[in-house]
Structures are given as C-alpha cells and as structure tokens.
Amino acid sequence: MPRLTNRVPKYCRHKASGQAVVTIQGRDHYLGPWKSKASHLEYDRLIGEWIAAGRPVAGASSRHDITVTELSAAYWKFAQTHYVKNGKLTDAIYGVKVALRLLRETYGHTRAVEFGPLALKAIRQQMIELDLSRAYINETVAKIKRVFKWGVREELLPIETYQALTTLEGLRAGRSAAREPSPVVAMFNNGEIELMREVEMAPVFFGETLIGPNVPNLIYMLSADNMESHKAHWKAFLAHPTWERMKAMEKYKDTVSKIKNWFLKPTSYSQM
C-alpha cells in the first residue's frame, strides 16, 4: 500500500510568480494569487482530496500502479464502515470477505488497471468448478465488480477498468455449467433469513450441505433465552404476512420434505 504521512502540506508563496502554491506528492499545485480567498478555497479543496485518499506521500503508487491486493485492502477498510447497522457489521460483510479473498488469491499481484473481463471470468470458472450455485456465483461476481466501481469513485482507477468488467454478464439459468440453487436455499436467501431476524429468532449460523446423501438440505441454529421464548418467536414467524406470502409462491411449494430439530443447552464451560 502507499506510504502515508500525518503532516499536512503547507500553503506557501511562489516568489517568482507571486502565486500561492502547495506541494502534494512531489507535485506543485498553483492556487492563484497569494493570500487571496480563491487560493485558500483551492488549497482547502486539494487538501481535502489528499486526506480522503489516505494522505499518500511522494512516491506512492499512482492509480495505474495500485495492485489488486492494495485495492482489496482499501475496499475492506471502507466495507467495515459501510456494511454496518445499529453499530454492528451486517451479514453482507461475509460475502464481501469471500469476494476479496478470491481476488487476492488469484490476481493479488496484478495491477488493478489490468484486471479485465477475462480475469473475472476465470474467477467465475473457479467457482463453477467448486460446484457453487449459479445464484451465489453471480452475487460474488457482482461484489467483485463493486470493488472496482468503488475504486473508480475514489479515483484509484480509471473508469474504463470498471466499464470493461460490466461487459461480463451474469450466468443465466440453463445456459451454464453452474449448479442451480435448490428452492429451499433460494427461499432462505430471498427473505426467510431476514424474517427470522425481524421476529428476533437470533440466528447463530446458516449452512448449506454441498455433498452427502441428503442434498439439498440446510442446517441452521437459532437461539432463545428459554423454550417459551423460542415458541413465541416461531409463532410470530408463522403468523407474519411475509411468511404467508412466501409459502404461497408457486416456486417455493413442496420444497421441504423433512425437518429435524435438536435442542441444545449450554454447559457450565460453554462460551455461548
């Protein structure tokens, strides 16, 4: 990543021209007549942009030199302040983490400006070979595109880099080797999980079985203070208008054939 500094470049007078000047990253920026209001406004603008960029010093990477790893690190810092609700990170952060890991592991040392549609297509093919669902792959690819869109917005990359990535269309049903998501998984991802949180079921985790004799199936853990609270949560869930609407959808009919429940109690040494 670029080297950073806490020292703010000074507003100075260029003796030969009588103009105000500020030197940022080794480059002189002429601001207008010395001590004029316009020169101070221009100085404030340039310093504001420099601070927003992380206070890079002379010799720091230009937007054409930043690597995929550097871009990923900068986006991760942004994501930890963006994907927040009520003071806590939202679950969306985990999908971002996966997308950034794929970027770093496959193209980390590549200049971000050279990361194009073929590179993104290669990452997508890796996910297909891992037998991930088409919907999950499309979501992850979209997250990677957002990383580069953010890089353009922060002036770390030229807009052409992001525009090129948008030419890679999402995988379509029946037109790729990617596995189609099961209806029960789609139901969870498209509303059921959010509803569980809304009625305060306090989910701990959700997991999709990828291999084994009983595919597709989901395993998830919910938490409650006691059995009465657990039953009250389920009562609220089943009576909710969102659930009534979802279960009536044709695409979600007959998606569940068997449900098993296990009730766990914390031991004296449990951290939960």
- pLDDT tens per residue across span 28-68: 888 888 999 988 998 998 888 888 877 776 655 555 678 89
Pick the CATH number of 68-165 from 1.10.287, 1.10.3470, 1.10.150, 3.30.1310: 1.10.150
Asked if residues 81 and 90 have their Cβ atoms less than 8 Å apart, the reply is no
Distance of CA 219 to the CA centre of its chain: 24
Q: How many other C-beta atoms can be found within 10 angstroms of the C-beta atom of residue 244?
A: 10
pLDDT at position 189: 72
CATH 1.10.150 intervals, the chain: 68-165
Output the pTM of the full model: 0.57
* pLDDT (average), residues 209-213: 63
Q: Which is nearest to 119 in space by CA: 138, 144, 136, 98?
A: 144
In whole angstroms, give the CA distance from residue 28 to residue 263.
Answer: 68
H or E segment at 128? helix 117-129
Q: Which is more confident, 185 or 263?
A: 263
